[in-house]
Amino acid sequence: MRDDITTIGGERVGLDIDGTISAYPEYYSSLSRTVKSNGGRVVVISSRREDSRGVTKAQLDEWSIAYDSLYLFLPYDEVEHLAPAGVTDWYERYLWQKIDYASSENLTSFHDDEPKVISLFQMYRPEIRIIQAGGCGELDEQ
């Protein structure tokens, strides 16, 4: 895993949970605390549903993740209008919540493991640096 934790000061970092924080909890605990101690902001954005907020917060606490905001997905019918017309796949329209919330938070980077999410960021929000949490214990900057 790359050791780029000390280079992040004043950043606005977004983190996915499942397959990202859950795969590397020690790394993301250290990253989140370093970002916050250097004046940055940490936002957790997950496709978990809002009704899992209590369990999710308990997990983040257990993993010692420091964060400012937690966004959990809303039902599809409440958010399908957020995606641009060019995004026609229903799943990508549902995932658009991550891009929408990351944009509203003015994030400078986002960590995720989902190829469709990464592709959407690269296509529609290239100004947000994407760090892909890989399945082999490594993080790859996209």
Q: Report CA 2 to chain centroid distance, whole Å.
A: 18
Residue 133 pLDDT level (bands cut at 50, 70, 90): confident
Query: Residue 30 maps to which CATH number?
Result: 3.40.50.1000
DSSP per position, 55-69: HHHHHHHHTT---SE
- At 2-42, the pLDDT tens digits run 444 444 567 999 999 999 999 999 999 999 999 999 999 99
pLDDT at 141: 53
Cα angle value 114/116/118 (rounded, 5°)? 70
> Number of structural domains, the chain?
1
Residue 134 pLDDT level (bands cut at 50, 70, 90): low
pLDDT at 3: 41
Mean pLDDT of 45-54: 96
d(CA 98, CA 71): 9
- At 81-118, the pLDDT tens digits run 999 999 999 999 999 999 999 999 999 999 999 999 99
Range of the domain at 125: 5-141
Report which DSSP code applies to 134. -
pLDDT at 10: 75
Report CA torsion sign: 73, 87, 129, 40: negative
